[in-house]
A = this chain, B = another copy of it.
């Protein structure tokens, strides 16, 4: 048995294509395109890649996208001032501040910055009010990664209602909103984490297993009920050869990537899970591109709410 691969890259292209005419209609009606402001503090290499992809996706669907770069030496006050200016700027319908902020800004800085984004422009869905509306099942906007997973499941015809979904990981950005979105679609939901006892047995109950924990290759075949759908949210950079061997095996095509570059991106799910699962998202090319497509959809929704027809 080999799992069907759930192609997030392909779906993200389709979602972008669906967004494009709506953006054109908005622009014609309002006289300006939906505007997205992206704040990047410092120059973390992974963040540079994410931000570049977000800028490109936004421009691709017809948004105005402006990148606000701030040096890594910036103060928290300056970041908050930037957010306040973008809140007040009518050209922007969505604001996102790329995570993580430099550690030098201190613990809690990131949440203070997220809190400062106007709720109507919070296209990442990280503010308390956005999160509360999500819990109450009346959110216009939900965090991109979990809503991308829902979109993928629905478009692939994978039933959710009445199924048992198990989410590994309880982050504010993925685990918790993922659990809530699955619950609102009538799944029985179990949330597991580092303190859970007998994680493989808990996960083997899952019809839908979502791994969002950030540990390379954690989910092995003994975690998976035969035929289950496995969603791999993890994006882990492996730089150690023994780790790359454990997670990929030397025969895996992506092990060649490691040999060429000295590092490779792998998910939380071990590739051998493909022999047990019914369907599986690859890393890369699974959930990642969907996160960005949903961010674009959120921005369009925020623009529509700010300029009702």
Contact = CB atoms under 8 A, between A and B. Distances in A.
A206 B137 CA distance: 26
A162 interface: yes
A69 to B, nearest CB: 28
B135 A127 contact: no
Contact of A197 (B170, B180, B188): B188
A161 interface: yes
Nearest to A185: B195
Contact of A192 (B111, B188, B192): B188
A129 interface: yes
B191 A170 contact: no
A136 B162 CA distance: 27
B172 A183 contact: no
Interface of A: 111, 127-136, 138, 161-162, 164, 170, 172, 176, 179-180, 183, 186-193, 195-197, 202
27 contacts: A111-B136, A111-B138, A128-B128, A128-B129, A128-B132, A128-B133, A128-B135, A131-B135, A131-B136, A132-B132, A132-B133, A132-B134, A135-B135, A135-B172, A162-B197, A164-B202, A176-B183, A179-B191, A183-B191, A183-B193, A187-B195, A188-B190, A188-B192, A188-B193, A188-B195, A189-B190, A190-B190
